[in-house]
Amino acid sequence: MSLSREFAGFVANLRYEDLPPEVVDRAKGVTLQALSSALIARHMPASRQALALMQEEEAGGGGAATVLCHGARLTKAGAAFVNAEMIFAGGKWDTFRMLTHPGIAILPAALAAAEITAASGREFLTAVAAGYEVMERMAAEFIPTVMSRGFHAGPVFGIFGAAVAAAKLQRLDSGQIHSAIAQCVNLASGNLEGARSGGRSLREGGAVRNALLAVALAKHGIPGGETALEGEAGFYHAYAGNNRGELRYSFTGLNRADLSKITEGLGRNWIFLETLYRIYSTAGYNIAHIDVTAKLCEEHNLAYDNIERIEAVVNWLETEYPSPAFPSRGIENPPQVGSTQYFTAWGAARRGYPLLRGDRPGAGEADPPEVLDLMQRVTLIPAVRRTLFGPRITVFTKDGRHFTKEGTGREFIWDFEDLSRRIRPIASGLSIGETQFAGLIDTCRHLDRIGQAAERLMALTTP
């Protein structure tokens, strides 16, 4: 049986009752995270631009689906595109293995499909879990190698998760889901060079739009091919360079992955539970530097005035973004605003980072002088087999002592209640007000008890 057939059978047969409680909890959490990101971005230029673009592009078209935070009506693909761009702009993403952000693609597709099918909260959560599981299993071992070939792994793999979620909510059968996954191979895209050379690349917005096209093709009976993923000229050959599992780069230092194991334990072992929350609006590999350093300094009462320097041992790929093949943020780059050293200094000097701020000061904002000073004394030490997002932070004090704290890589893997507590402070900067935001949190918490899930969620994001 081909990989896409195995995935399709899993998705078609998956029921809400099959989901472990922790998977349901995570599906609620990623929904809240994505909607929170969209709310932050409501007035951002990128959000307004995406909405204006689609309103012009679809002039005279039908209004089948709703745009988050605005209430405008567009086609399914148009609304999903705008919603993806809005979630992206807000910076509060979920993250899987550093370089993919599943919710930016999966949640817009799920919302559009749930709205047109009047799906229940249980159906919505089941589709979201299925989309994450398929996408992350496909991506897991191949992300660094795909990035090294110039593709951006986020949209390249995101299209599959988005298509699976939409297909499940549109109640496609196993054969149709298989065709939708296969058609995604024809429509997957995402390149790194535009962003590296001063442009703004089309990412998950394009992926979700193409995902809905793949689902439409499958729904209307257009086959996508039997071995489109693992075949000799298939997806892995094209995007990873071969269909034998040979890896150019990996997170663990291993140089081979077994394609036959991609679906092993499907429905029993949920890789979806590795998804973490990027609570700060910065690159995912920076978030643990803030919290691990802050906790270390709190535990030992280390103040900025007494810190001589800081060392951070990190997974080497975190210092070679977006890829060691062509790094734009290599280890040789000096500390600067927005760098990993900068966020480590924030953790030490201020015990955190503002939730409503981007990765650098906005208009009228300034950095604390102690952060700008201390970041010059933060040293990053790359290690090949270091846990992703799990830095080992050592603070050296001026009186000759030193203190160390090991990151686990799971500091930002929370249950729903932890996420809701951590995300709640953004309410002060949202146009919907704190009471409505509390209502949105509570609705996500009880999604499994709600009838028309998308309609309720959309209404609660609109002032």
Look up residue 353 and give its two tokens: 């980072």
For residue 173, give the amino acid letter: D
Of 134, 103, 109, which is closest to residue 212 (Cα–Cα)? 109
pTM of the model: 0.96
Compute the Cα dihedral for 30, 35, 36, 40 and give only its sign: positive
**Domain ranges within the chain, ordered by starting residue:** 3-278+443-457, 284-406
Q: Tell me if the domain spanning 3-278+443-457 has CATH number 1.10.4100.10.
A: yes
CATH fold of 284-406 reads 60s Ribosomal Protein L30; Chain: A; (3.30.1330)
pLDDT tens-digit series, residues 154-177: 999 999 999 999 999 999 999 999
Is there a contact between 393 and 404 (Cβ–Cβ < 8 Å)? yes
Per-residue buried b or exposed e for 194-226, using 16+ beta carbons within 10 Å of the residue's own CB: eeeeeeebbbbbbbbbbbbbbbbbbbeeeebbe
Which residues are CB-neighbours of 47 under 8 A, at least 6 positions away?
A: 38, 41, 69, 82, 85, 86, 89
pLDDT tens-digit series, residues 272-308: 999 999 999 999 999 999 999 999 999 999 999 999 9
pLDDT tens-digit series, residues 68-125: 999 999 999 999 999 999 999 999 999 999 999 999 999 999 999 999 999 999 999 9
For residue 142, give the amino acid letter: F
Of 411, 408, 393, which is closest to residue 307 (Cα–Cα)? 393
Neighbouring-strand partners of residue 382: 314
State whether residue 221 is helix, strand or coil: coil
Which residues are CB-neighbours of 264 under 8 A, at least 6 positions away?
A: none
Q: What is the pLDDT of residue 333?
A: 84
pLDDT tens-digit series, residues 383-425: 998 999 999 999 999 999 999 999 999 999 999 999 999 999 9
pLDDT tens-digit series, residues 320-358: 999 999 987 767 889 999 999 999 999 999 999 999 999
Q: What is the pLDDT of residue 253?
A: 86
d(CA 359, CA 353): 10
